[in-house]
Amino acid sequence: MNSMEEIMEQIKVLSSAVTEEEYSATLEQGYELLVKLHDLGADKDSVYQSLSAYLNSLEDGISYNFIADTLDFVVGWCSPEKSIWDKD
């Protein structure tokens, strides 16, 4: 597994461990992992496709919401200062 795959796996692990009480902090960890992916040269479309496919495998619930919110950072549906790939 390469670094990018390991980071994607870490995001999936975060999604399965997220709780209501720690949602914001865990989402921030997910954001930081996305920044790492970007810095490693990960393509926005590849990250989106991987997370979208994972999202489609989830049932409605907190893990689903976490990945959906994480995808918002990927596509730039967030505050401008949190946008990752749109800065390029």
Query: Along the 88 residues of the chain, how does pLDDT read in single tens digits?
Result: 689 999 999 999 999 999 999 999 999 999 999 999 999 999 999 999 999 999 999 999 999 999 999 999 999 998 888 999 976 5
- Whether 12 maps to a domain, the answer reads yes
- Whether 27 maps to a domain, the answer reads yes
- Whether 20 maps to a domain, the answer reads yes
Tell me the C-alpha distance between 48 and 35, whole Å. Answer: 13
- Whether 88 maps to a domain, the answer reads no
pLDDT score at 2: 83
- Whether 86 maps to a domain, the answer reads no
Tell me the C-alpha distance between 44 and 32, whole Å. Answer: 15
Q: Model-level pTM?
A: 0.93
Phi and psi based region of residue 75 (left: phi greater than 0; alpha: psi -120 to 50; beta: remaining): alpha
- Whether 87 maps to a domain, the answer reads no
Number of domains present in the structure of the chain: 1
**Domain hosting residue 75, numbered range:** 3-81
